[in-house]
């Protein structure tokens, strides 16, 4: 414990020193947040400060002539408790890499023009607007002065028009109803979806199209004029949910044309095509009942592709790749050979196939679909990695890749099976060179129903098999999010390993990448086979001589937090410490508290008052709060008060229950965080509290 504190203090002082007093372009580092140039890490062990010093690579885009690649990197300042995003440009082979911006307001949404300039979003003028600069960062100028923030944009193929997203007011305020009470803070609510993710809903994002010339935006048209719907869809939709046709005459957009209760219980979004000439809108997939998102026209304009889920109300349904012939209207499910989710996809240059990423057996790889050859599927990449973000670049593909050993960097590969993958960026090399990472090992174990389950085991750096280590069971969230080769800046396995813990991370029932049956097994059965899978995983690894079976901990967030609360009353004294972040403690209350009712209807089986619903009644009978009488193990509860997916009173109730039961407990509550922890100082506080708690009870 003392050693950990010394590491933290050393890194914190070094980081503070290297972020203070530097000057660039006339601005002090307190104004300009950039790459940390000095960070001395003790004993090659990962620290929270080292994690937050890492630059995080964001979006990337290839110039239209294929000669340049632009990408963004976000940097975080712990003292300032905020971030900044800068732009880099390099050649397609990674050479000539240079940072072309040094501004405190940040840049995003990079778009190349035909003449080799970059357009982007910046809030330098006070609101988020479209700007332009040369490929070396010179000639920077503002192009729009729209009355409101522009949240995303793309250019028409001929670059005479711009498609952009901005918020429109959709909910009347109290002051609208009572103008004489302008300072009244009360909200009058008449229907559901009055809050979503981390905000009270008063506006909706709308797509607009306008002429863009030297005089700013002209002839602005709201594609959803007078409609209270959102496109892109909240809370995470962006410009990937809208697309220009190659001839610039149509715009495809994603929309769930529902409000209130109807919106809250349905995932039935559709793809709509807006004709700029006739101003008519057509729904191209009304017969598909689940999520339809992310349209892309083929380069030849003959087809449109999108991601599609089959069932209404099931947000973790298989994400399938569909195409439609725009002349005949014929639709086809082209990713049938891949019994998992299509995560990201792009057309190839000849409009006869796709490249996409998808998870299988705990790894996310790049695949090719050949439409000419009966939708034949070919896997292009191998290894313990997760790939994401694809871009065509001549005869190569560009992609981002991360693993449990390293965060995102940009890579280049050939468009063929067994392709050689070349790393192009080395954003955090200076930090990685100072770190020793723990070994990551995939192991297959037999479950209680005799199925094979993949379990990732992460070992401490300088692992000694002759020693005994405290060991953590990691419970994944989602609930249907893969335990693949992810790199997290909060739930970071290398951070846990650096604190001399072995981590056991099972791909338990209810995760994608092992077939639809495995993925769907959790719906309506939260306390069933998936919990048995957790216990199987920790029991199996605990047989190893280097695992101290008397010092086992259990940690997790979201569904993982729920898992911790449930296991706290059903673990038969296996564990000596628990940590639950943003977990469900009382399922009855969760049904009414969460904003997205489709989720609880599908996953829990329905409302608790439906006494004839056997699935629902089984779910509520297993709620963690009903097993508090069996709690006997120290527990740390963490939650954000701006989390409207699982509200903070769940953690408060769990903490209160533990204290009233005489169980050692601690509560870390964030008034300003949502389902995640996004602010740098809050993130470091999270890490320190996390390991102080584990060290107290397991070391």
618 phi and psi, to 5 degrees? Answer: -65, -40
Q: Above 70 in pLDDT, residue 26? A: no
Spatial neighbors of 650 by CB under 8 A, at least 6 apart, are 583, 584, 585, 586, 589, 590, 593, 639
In the set 335, 558, 563, 623, the catalytic residue is 558
pLDDT confidence band for 15 (50 / 70 / 90): very low
Residue 144: CA atoms inside 13 Å, Cβ hemisphere, count?
A: 28
198 an active-site residue? no
pLDDT of residue 678: 98
690 phi and psi, to 5 degrees? Answer: -55, -50
Provide the percentage of residues in the chain whose pLDDT is more than 70. Answer: 96
For residues 458-473, average pLDDT: 98
pLDDT of residue 14: 37
Q: Any idea which of 18-32, 336-350, 608-622 has the lowest mean pLDDT?
A: 18-32
pLDDT confidence band for 1 (50 / 70 / 90): very low
pLDDT of residue 281: 98
* Cβ contact 643:675 at 8 Å: yes
pLDDT confidence band for 21 (50 / 70 / 90): very low
SS3 for 612?
Answer: coil
Helices (H), 26-181: 48-53, 174-177
Domains of the chain: 437-698 (3.40.50.1820)
Provide the percentage of residues in the chain whose pLDDT is more than 90. Answer: 94
pLDDT confidence band for 2 (50 / 70 / 90): very low
Residue for token pair 């569909």: 322
Q: Above 80 in pLDDT, residue 239? A: yes
pLDDT of residue 40: 85
588 an active-site residue? no
- For the segment 679-699, what is each residue's pLDDT rounded down to a tens digit? 999 999 999 999 999 999 999
For residues 595-610, average pLDDT: 98
pLDDT of residue 3: 37
pLDDT of residue 10: 37
pLDDT of residue 477: 97
In the set 403, 571, 675, 695, the catalytic residue is 675
* Cβ contact 86:72 at 8 Å: yes
pLDDT confidence band for 158 (50 / 70 / 90): very high
Burial, 49: exposed, middle or buried (Cβ in 10 Å; 0-12, 13-18, 19+)?
buried
What's the rounded Cα separation, in Å, for the pair 381 and 494? Answer: 24
What's the rounded Cα separation, in Å, for the pair 697 and 699? Answer: 6
- Average pLDDT of the chain to the nearest whole number: 95
Maximal C-alpha separation, the chain: 75
151 is written with which tokens?
């949240």
- For the segment 385-399, what is each residue's pLDDT rounded down to a tens digit? 999 999 999 999 999
pLDDT of residue 17: 34
292 an active-site residue? no
* Cβ contact 634:552 at 8 Å: no
In the set 317, 386, 643, 695, the catalytic residue is 643
Phi-psi region of 389 (alpha: psi -120 to 50; beta: other; left: phi over 0): left
* Cβ contact 59:74 at 8 Å: no
* Cβ contact 530:510 at 8 Å: yes
Burial, 652: exposed, middle or buried (Cβ in 10 Å; 0-12, 13-18, 19+)?
middle
What's the rounded Cα separation, in Å, for the pair 650 and 585? Answer: 5
pLDDT confidence band for 36 (50 / 70 / 90): confident
SS3 for 377?
Answer: strand
Residue for token pair 């990448």: 513
684 is written with which tokens?
């470091």
Q: Above 50 in pLDDT, residue 12? A: no
pLDDT confidence band for 329 (50 / 70 / 90): very high
């Amino acid at each position: 414990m003392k050693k950990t504190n010394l590491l933290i203090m050393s890194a914190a002082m070094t980081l503070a020193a290297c972020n203070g007093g530097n000057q660039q372009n006339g601005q002090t580092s307190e104004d300009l947040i950039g790459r940390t140039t000095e960070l001395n890490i003790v004993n090659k062990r990962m620290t929270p400060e080292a994690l937050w010093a890492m630059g995080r690579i964001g979006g990337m885009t290839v110039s239209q002539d294929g000669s340049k690649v632009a990408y963004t990197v976000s940097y975080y300042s712990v003292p300032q408790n905020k971030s900044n995003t800068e732009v880099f440009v390099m050649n397609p082979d990674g050479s000539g890499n240079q940072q072309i911006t040094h501004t405190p307001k940040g840049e995003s949404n990079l778009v190349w023009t035909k003449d080799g300039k970059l357009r982007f979003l910046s809030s330098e003028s006070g609101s988020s607007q479209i700007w332009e600069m040369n490929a070396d960062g010179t000639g920077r100028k503002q192009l729009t002065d729209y009355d409101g923030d522009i949240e995303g944009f793309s250019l028409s193929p001929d670059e005479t028009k711009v498609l952009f997203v901005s918020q429109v007011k959709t909910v009347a305020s109290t002051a609208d109803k009572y103008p004489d009470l302008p300072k009244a803070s009360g909200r009058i609510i008449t229907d559901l979806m009055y809050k979503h993710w981390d905000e009270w809903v008063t506006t909706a994002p709308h797509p607009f199209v306008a002429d863009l010339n030297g005089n700013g935006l002209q002839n602005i048209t709201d594609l959803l004029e007078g409609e209270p719907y959102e496109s892109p869809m909240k809370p995470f939709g962006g410009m990937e949910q809208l697309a220009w046709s190659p001839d610039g005459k149509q715009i495809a957009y994603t929309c769930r044309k529902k409000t209130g209760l109807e919106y809250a219980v349905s995932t039935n979004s559709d793809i709509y095509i807006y004709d700029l000439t006739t101003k008519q809108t057509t729904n191209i997939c009304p017969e598909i009942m689940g999520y339809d998102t992310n349209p892309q026209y083929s380069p030849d304009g003959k087809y449109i592709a999108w991601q599609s889920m089959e069932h209404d109300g099931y947000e973790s349904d298989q994400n399938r790749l569909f195409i439609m012939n725009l002349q005949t209207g014929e639709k086809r499910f082209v990713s049938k050979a891949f019994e998992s989710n299509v995560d990201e996809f792009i057309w190839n240059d000849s409009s006869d196939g796709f490249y996409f990423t998808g998870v299988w057996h705990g790894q996310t790889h790049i695949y090719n679909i050949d439409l000419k050859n009966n939708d034949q599927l070919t896997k292009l990449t191998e290894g313990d990695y997760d790939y994401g973000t694809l871009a065509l670049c001549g005869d190569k593909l560009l992609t981002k890749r991360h693993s449990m050993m390293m965060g995102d960097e940009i890579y280049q590969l050939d468009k063929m099976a067994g392709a050689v993958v070349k790393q192009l960026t080395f954003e955090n090399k200076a930090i990685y060179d100072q770190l020793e990472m723990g070994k990551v090992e995939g192991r297959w174990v037999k479950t209680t129903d005799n199925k094979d389950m993949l379990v990732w085991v992460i070992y401490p750096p300088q692992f000694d098999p002759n020693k005994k280590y405290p060991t953590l069971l990691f419970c994944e969230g989602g609930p249907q999010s893969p335990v693949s080769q992810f790199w997290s800046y909060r739930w970071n396995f290398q951070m846990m390993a650096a604190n001399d813990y072995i981590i056991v991370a099972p791909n338990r029932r209810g995760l994608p990448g092992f077939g639809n049956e495995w993925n769907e097994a959790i719906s309506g059965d939260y306390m069933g086979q998936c919990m048995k899978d957790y216990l199987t995983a920790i029991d199996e690894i605990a047989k190893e001589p280097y695992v101290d079976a008397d010092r086992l901990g259990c940690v997790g967030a979201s569904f993982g937090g729920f898992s911790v609360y449930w296991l706290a009353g059903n673990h038969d004294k296996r564990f000596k410490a628990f940590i639950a972040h943003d977990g469900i403690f009382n399922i009855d209350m969760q049904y009414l508290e969460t904003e997205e009712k489709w989720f609880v209807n599908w996953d829990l089986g329905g409302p608790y008052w439906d006494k004839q619903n056997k699935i629902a009644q089984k779910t509520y009978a297993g709620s963690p709060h009903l097993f508090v009488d069996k709690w006997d193990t120290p527990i740390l509860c963490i939650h954000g008060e701006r989390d409207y997916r699982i509200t903070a009173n769940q953690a408060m109730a769990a903490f209160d229950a533990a204290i009233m039961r005489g169980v050692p407990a601690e509560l870390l509550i964030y008034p300003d965080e949502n389902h995640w922890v996004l602010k740098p100082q809050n993130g470091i506080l999270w890490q320190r509290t996390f390991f102080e708690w584990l060290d107290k009870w397991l070391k």
